[in-house]
Structure 1
Amino acid sequence: MQRIKDHAHLQEEARERLEKGESALDISRDLNARQEPLLLARWHAATITD
C-alpha cells in the first residue's frame, strides 16, 4: 500500500495531462519511456483513462 502512495504523483500527472487534451496513449508511452513504476504491469492507454 505504501508503494502505491509513494507514486500517487503519477496518477495526478496523468489526470492533469488528460485534462489538457493529451492522449492516454501518448501519456502511457511517456511513462513507460521514463520507466515510471506501475505495480505488476506496464502503462497502457486503458490504465491512464481508468
Structure 2
Amino acid sequence: MRIGRKIQRKGAGLLTAYEIISVIFAFTIVVIEIIRLVIDMLRKK
C-alpha cells in the first residue's frame, strides 16, 4: 500500500515505468530459472 501512495505523491510517469521495468525484469529471471530446470530434467531423462 505504501508503494501506491509514493507513486501518487511523486508523479505517476517515472515510478510506474520503473515498476513495470522491474516487474518485467523479475518475470524474465523467473522464466529463465524455469527453463533451466526443464533443461536439467530433460538431460537427466
The interval holding the TM-score normalised by the smaller chain is: 0.3 to 0.5
TM-score by length of 2: 0.36
Larger RCO (CA under 8 A, 6+ residues apart): 1
TM-score by length of 1: 0.33
Higher helix share: 2
Greater C-alpha radius of gyration: 2
